[in-house]
Chain A
Amino acid sequence: MIEARELSKSFRVKGGQRLRAVEGVTFTCRPGEIFGLLGINGAGKTTTLRMLATLLTPTGGEGRICGFDIGREPEEVRRRIGFLSTATALYGRLTGLEVVNYFGRLHGMTEEKLAARREELFTALGIHEFQDRRCDQCSTGMKQRISIARSLIHDPEVMIFDEPTLGLDVLAARQITRFIRDCRERGKTVLFSTHVMSEVAKLCDRVAIIHRGAVRDAGGVGELAERHGVDDMEEIFVRAVGETANVVSVASGEDVS
């Protein structure tokens, strides 16, 4: 279970000013559900996910993962989440086996438990054949599979994906989306961010449209379509953020204030 209540984050930027990256984001994501955070680049998705993964400390509001407060019990929170993003790279000089073992040990797993879980994941993801190859000699697809095994080794209750398919080819991206669905089927709580509208329609049970740091609309995919009177996710997004008029007006040189 993921609960975000009025989560806010501001950064100090040059000149002593503060940039408000996230403002009052509230949502709940339940077990066995895929919850999507949809927004363009710079909307505040990564900051929100980083706060929930305890990489960043919120400047306002609160967040709970499986009942543990992200501010007060960050280590308990991290024990219960698997975090995967294009920014979570692998150690190039270690083999896939070593990387997965390392993260299993960091999660405090016993050697027997680690071996059993690793065997299960390596078989499911087909990692055995390249498990002893150094990560910097692996293909993108291989790395992706090792990353998945790395994020799942401790069998987390909650999975957080930050733009997991960004920069991947069709096959590697499909592998990820299959993996996300699989997580839902296993009853995990899945939170995932993307700017790809089609991914949301394909994967998510519920969506929050985030823009300029704030949630503009949220609900089930069908519910959103009904509310905005269109089926197309892209159209729903544009209507929810209400930016089309501005773009057109600026292009034609009209005053929009």
Chain B
Amino acid sequence: MNGGLKTTGVIFRKEFLDTIRDRRALASMILVPLIVIPLIIVGFGGLSFVVMERAESRQLTVMVLQAEEDPALVETLAGNPNLRVVEADADYADLISSRRVNAAVALPENFRQEVERGKVPRIVIHTYEGELSSSLAAQAVEEVLRGHLREIQRERLAGAGLAPEFLTPFTLARQNVAPPERVGGNLLGGVLPYLLVILCLTGAVYPAMDLTAGEKERGTIETLLTSPAPRSCIVYGKFLVVFCFSILTALLALGTLGASLWAGTTLLRAQADFGELSLAVSPSAVASVFLLLVPVAVLFSALLLAISLFARSYKEAQTYISPLMIVAMLPALVAAMPGVELTPVLALVPVLNVSLVGKEILTGLFPWGPILFVFFSTCLYAAAALWGAVCLFNREDVLFRAS
């Protein structure tokens, strides 16, 4: 047993050194979490912030159709600093579609007279649905029109000798009572487990291929097999390296994610009114999710090792692994969707169960029964995958598949 552990240790040290010297493996482990994640979060967040700000500060072009129906209202619209009122054109629909005009306000015929007579005429705002500037223009127009509407309401109430509160029997307000970490957990809960599961997988892919199919391709597997190292020790040594890279990638990602979220929210708070929104989650919740991720990393590492061991070359290994990536990402993605909750059946689905329990943990709930169930069922799957890898490594038809 001692000899086996020592041999596994010797193999682990060598494989680790070998992998760490491989630029491609390092790139997949470090580049993704260290550069891509902050880039996505800060870059994407910053970009959307800038786009929003620019759209908001720009003057929006609005057209009033049949402006002669209420020149005073048109003047109020033109008085809004965010709006630029242009002359009416019969081709307003084309102009909006081609984004030369952001919105068009159509006043109905006899608008003023109908309002005065107590009828309820309808003003239609023509927009380009889904287009940011158009919806901002519509919002601004609506605000002005609502102000006008309230003004008429006030006049009518005053005419009838009623106070403005007559039409406001009560008011409504929302108040958040959840602690900030739960709010943050809810926001992050969907994304974080999904991201970590994927990173566990991407961190393991390259070393797994390199240490099996790569060895076959380079012809070093035969050299290794002529040594007295038991085959199981070879698998365990290689597996441990793949597992380490998987966990290290996820850890690095967690670190950079935390740092870039902190930087991102600080930046946003400094530049705009970001309200009470907090992305803080409790460290113990993150640590628990990470602990749950350990058997997932074992499962991925063993599976990837077994699959790429079967391949004769890198290329073949890539062909086998691509579908696995999709199969593994799908449950993680399903779990990230809002409304999907942990059920006894879903608790048995590997990857999905961990993502779902992770989601609950991040919102501050610790359902111990399901947590333990998910942890041990994933351990079981992981052990089976590792056993499969050892079995494959003992099969000469797999090790020496003719190319």
Contacts and interface: CB of A to CB of B under 8 A. Distances in A.
Interface of A: 11-12, 50, 53, 55-57, 75-76, 78-79, 81, 83, 85, 87-94, 98, 102-103, 105-108, 150
A57 B21 CA distance: 35
Contacts of B7: 106, 108
Nearest to B399: A55
A12 B11 CA distance: 32
A60 B220 CA distance: 28
Nearest to A102: B14
A89 B14 contact: no
A94 B17 contact: yes
A88 B230 CA distance: 18
Interface string B1-28: 0010011001100100110011000000
A102 B226 CA distance: 13
A138 to B, nearest CB: 14
B266 to A, nearest CB: 41
Contact of B226 (A88, A93, A105, A108): A88
B396 A55 contact: yes
Nearest to B3: A108
Contacts of B229: 106
A12 B397 contact: yes
B227 A107 contact: yes
A55 B400 contact: yes
A79 B155 CA distance: 103
A89 B219 contact: yes
Given A50-B400, A102-B10, 12 more contacts: A55-B225, A78-B228, A83-B222, A83-B226, A87-B222, A88-B223, A89-B220, A93-B21, A93-B22, A94-B21, A98-B14, A150-B223
A107 B228 contact: yes
20 contacts: A12-B397, A53-B226, A55-B222, A55-B225, A55-B226, A55-B396, A55-B399, A55-B400, A79-B228, A83-B226, A88-B219, A91-B18, A92-B218, A93-B22, A94-B18, A94-B21, A106-B228, A107-B228, A108-B6, A150-B223
A106 B22 contact: no
B20 to A, nearest CB: 9
B98 to A, nearest CB: 59
A106 B222 contact: no
A85 B219 CA distance: 10
Given A56-B400, A92-B218, A102-B10, A78 B17 contact: no
Nearest to A11: B397
Contact of A103 (B3, B18, B227): B227
A82 to B, nearest CB: 8
A91 B18 CA distance: 8
